[in-house]
Amino acid sequence: MEPSLLCPDCKRLEREYQLTIAEIYSVVGGRFKSVREKLHQLFRWQDVRDEAVEAFYEHKKTHARRASGLRRVA
C-alpha cells in the first residue's frame, strides 16, 4: 500500500482540498445579492483551493524524499 494512503497528514490535506471544492460548488450554485459578490466569493475560494493543493503537493514531496533517501549518494 502507498505510504501516502496511510499518512494522517495526507488525509487531512486531502480533506481540506475536498472542502474547498465543496465551497466552490456552493458558491457557483448559490444566490448572491450581486454578480460582483458572487465572483468575489468564487475567487476567494479558488485561492483557498490553490493554497490547499500547494500544501498537499509540498507534503507529498516529503514522502518521495523519504523513499529516495534510502539510496541517497553523498
Dump pLDDT digits (tens) for 29-71.
Answer: 999 999 999 999 999 999 999 999 999 999 988 887 666 555 5
- Up-side HSE of residue 47: CA atoms within 13 Å toward CB? 6
For residue 45, give the 3-state DSSP assignment. Answer: helix
Give the pLDDT score at 2. Answer: 55
Give the pLDDT score at 5. Answer: 60
Q: Could you tell me the pTM of the whole model?
A: 0.74
The secondary element (H helix, E strand) that includes residue 57 is helix 35-68
Backbone CA torsion sign across 54, 52, 22, 39: negative
